[in-house]
Amino acid sequence: MAGHSDLGRFLRQCRADLTPEAAGIAAVAQGRRVRGLRREEVALLAGVSVDYYTRLEQGRHTSPSAAVVDALARVFRLDAAARAHLADLARPARRSSRQMPAQRVRPAMHQLLASMTEHPALILGRRTDVLASNALGRALLTDWTLLPPRHRNYIRWVFLDPGARDAFLDWPAVAADVVGTLRLYAGRNPDDPQLSELVGELSIKSPEFRAWWNGRHVHERTHGTKRMHHPAVGPITLRYEALVLPGDPDQTLFLYTTDPGSPSYDNLRLLGSLAARAAPAPGRASSTPLPDASRTEPNPS
């Protein structure tokens, strides 16, 4: 799905997107048939032969040295995430398609999430699988516990649930970034069979995903702002921090906050009150219990 043939595809997309002016080359308008750079121009700027660079794009050479990767990243003006993705694609090919072991969220992390009553929070795993969430996080986004285990996936929700399009005021930007996040994961885990299934499903069901997946945007989640509109309380602007959990670099805790005293702060507190009011009384069974499957990686079947 994301094998080393993707190295050539990524390089071609980078070359097509970089204009001669942006690369510092004086473009000759007469007879120029492409908007982006020519192969010989990339080779010259990167300090490699045209034949060598051509073999990279054609997939006839798939493991360039770190020095070549650095040179190409410089030529294409890649940011840190895209440069890391290029390095992942340039690693020697792996030949494994084994099912990855299930991810488990430690009990202490479940307790930590439950204690966060004023801030939405969730833990994402491989492929943006939703491994755990707190009550306010479910009230803000969607109740993952009501979904089949294989559907508890953030990017799947963003593209296939109409509620997500209504929730994010900047849905195209949010959706494009999460595709970039999945692309970064794909470069690091090219032989993940469940990733292949997810990309195949989204490509069939979402024209937007298919178009963005054929691009080259790479995004690494660290922190940022999301503008949302919740049907029960109105607009909420949230800041988020993405914290990689110790002991499992494939698990990331997302914590959402609002500015104290702002309308968003008040609306989030109101949402919390509504969520608490809808929760079952002490001693009563919850109508939406957290299944044991939420403590593990969603079942692909």
- 51's CB contacts (< 8 A; 6+ apart) are none
Read off the pLDDT of residues 96-114 as tens digits, 9 standing for 90 and up.
Answer: 556 778 889 999 999 999 9
Per-residue pLDDT band at 289 (split at 50, 70, 90): very low
Which residues lie across from 238 on neighbouring strands?
Answer: 226
User: What is the rounded distance in angstroms from the CA atom of residue 166 to the CA atom of residue 271?
Assistant: 17
Percentages (nearest 5) of helix, strand, coil residues in the chain: 50, 15, 40
Q: What is the DSSP letter of 292?
A: G
pLDDT at 29 exceeding the cut of 60: no
pLDDT at 136 exceeding the cut of 50: yes
User: What is the rounded distance in angstroms from the CA atom of residue 184 to the CA atom of residue 82?
Assistant: 8
Read off the pLDDT of residues 30-42 as tens digits, 9 standing for 90 and up.
Answer: 556 777 899 999 9
The DSSP annotation for 168-218 comes to BTTHHHHHHHHHHHHHHHHHH-TT-HHHHHHHHHHHHH-HHHHHHHTS---
Q: Which residue has the tokens 């792996």?
A: 94
Can you give the three-state secondary structure of 105-149, one letter per residue? CCHHHHHHHHHCCCCCEEEECHHHEEEEECHHHHHHCCCHHHCCH
Residue 21: its pLDDT value, please?
85
Residue 292: its pLDDT value, please?
33
Are 242 and 254 spatial neighbours (Cβ–Cβ below 8 Å)? Answer: yes
Read off the pLDDT of residues 176-215 as tens digits, 9 standing for 90 and up.
Answer: 999 999 999 999 998 899 999 999 999 999 999 999 998 8
**Mean pLDDT within 267-292:** 64
Model confidence, pTM: 0.80
**Mean pLDDT within 29-58:** 85
Residue 96: its pLDDT value, please?
56
Average pLDDT, the chain: 87
- CA 272, 277, 282, 288 dihedral sign is negative
Are 182 and 155 spatial neighbours (Cβ–Cβ below 8 Å)? Answer: yes
HSE-CB of 208 using CA atoms within 13 angstroms: 16
User: What is the rounded distance in angstroms from the CA atom of residue 67 to the CA atom of residue 87?
Assistant: 10
Q: Which two tokens stand for residue 167?
A: 């929730």
Per-residue pLDDT band at 246 (split at 50, 70, 90): confident
Considering only residues 210 and 279, tell me which one the structure prediction assigns the higher pLDDT. Answer: 210
The DSSP annotation for 239-282 comes to EEEEEEPTT-TT-EEEEEE--TTSHHHHHHHHHHHHHHHHSPPT
**Mean pLDDT within 69-88:** 93
Q: Which two tokens stand for residue 122?
A: 């969730």
Q: What are residue 18's phi and psi, to 5 degrees?
A: -100, 115
Read off the pLDDT of residues 112-129 as tens digits, 9 standing for 90 and up.
Answer: 999 999 999 999 999 999
Closest CA to 263 of 255, 274, 271: 271
Helices 39-46, 66-75: axis angle to 10 degrees equals 120
Per-residue pLDDT band at 281 (split at 50, 70, 90): very low
Are 171 and 162 spatial neighbours (Cβ–Cβ below 8 Å)? Answer: no
User: What is the rounded distance in angstroms from the CA atom of residue 295 to the CA atom of residue 158?
Assistant: 22
Are 132 and 109 spatial neighbours (Cβ–Cβ below 8 Å)? Answer: yes
